[in-house]
Structure 1
Amino acid sequence: MGIETITIETDARLTTVDVTDQIASVVPDDLESGTVTAFVAHTTAGLLVQENEPRLREDIEDFLRDLVPDEGHAHDRLDGNADSHLRAAMIGPDVTIPVENGDLVLGTWQSILFVECDGPRTRSLTVALTPHAK
């Protein structure tokens, strides 16, 4: 057990990608009890737990666009992506999920979504496994 890295390719400036299966694939089948923490080491992307339904994912993207205008921020004078930083700041860079008998313990409709705010890009997602003592 330890740390794994997952690579994610995005194809739009603001988009969501279901990464549940990729994260689950690094959890050993024999891990009886523990946690998995996924972390995005980027300041313009984030992770959230939500339903992986295409219309809801579109709603999430629209919601972020509505909350944070694309332009008009001080940081834009540096590199034109302040909106991406602000959107990612609202989402957060990590999620922690319980593991039981080698499976992620997620609710029926829950998935882990990677939220790209400054794409398209190739991103790294760090996944850390922590076994719990018996």
Structure 2
Amino acid sequence: MPRFTVSTDARLTVLDVTDRVREALADDDAEGEQVCTVFVDHTTAGVVVNEAESRLLGDVESFLGRVVPDEGWDHDELDGNADSHLRALLLGNSTQVPVVDGDLALGRWQSVLLVECDGPRERKLRVVV
């Protein structure tokens, strides 16, 4: 099962990992149609498919910051990162993308995005076909 690691440099940030997922697929020489699952094995990060345009990525960060306030959560008494868990809960820890003849079958503007909610950290992602 291919894995790769991504380093993030901010508490809340969105990174395009499409090329890294494609690299992981290169090890799978299957033909025809399949499904690729990209999974982040952390509870304070998410994986989504959306457009990787820089202003939109900033909007995603702003949106998550507005929807889930940084403070005021019971879990903060333990770790101080309840907001990160709640943001990741909204996003989900995986996404699925069709694969056709060994390549991601994404739409014109679609990319696979890692959403870091509790950085900076190193995140491990798994790619399963």
TM range (shorter): over 0.9
Task: Give the deviation of 1:111 after TM superposition.
Answer: 0.2
5+ residue gaps in structure 1? 130-134
Measured against aligned partners, the alpha-carbon deviations of 1:22-69 in whole angstroms (never above 9, x if no partner) come to 001111374222111110110000001000000000000000000000
CA distance in 2, matches of 1:17, 1:86: 19
Deviation at 1:102, TM superposition (A): 1.4
Whether the 8 Å CA contact 2:3–2:24 is kept in 1: the answer is no
**Which residue matches 1:31?**
30
CA contact (8 A) 1:11 1:121 kept: yes
After superposition, where does 1:1-134 map in structure 2 within 5 Å? 3-28=1-26, 30-32=29-31, 33-129=33-129
Residues 44 and 118 of structure 2 are in contact (CA less than 8 Å); yes or no, is this contact kept in structure 1?
yes
Task: Report the 3-state secondary structure (helix = DSSP H, G, I; strand = E; otherwise coil) of the residue aligned with 2:25.
Answer: coil
82-91 vs 33-42, which moves further: 33-42
Large movers: runs of 4+ above 2 Å: 28-31
Q: In 2, Cα distance between the equivalents of 1:13 and 1:58?
A: 13
Identical aligned pairs, as a percentage?
56
CA distance in 2, matches of 1:22, 1:106: 14
With normalisation by structure 1, the TM-score equals 0.92
Contact 2:4 2:126 in 1 (8 A): yes
Number of residue equivalences: 127
Secondary structure at 1:46's aligned position in 2? Answer: strand
Supply the distance in 2 between the matched residues of 1:102 and 1:30 (Cα, whole angstroms).
6
Give me the TM-score of the superposition, normalised by structure 2: 0.95
CA distance in 2, matches of 1:20, 1:31: 19
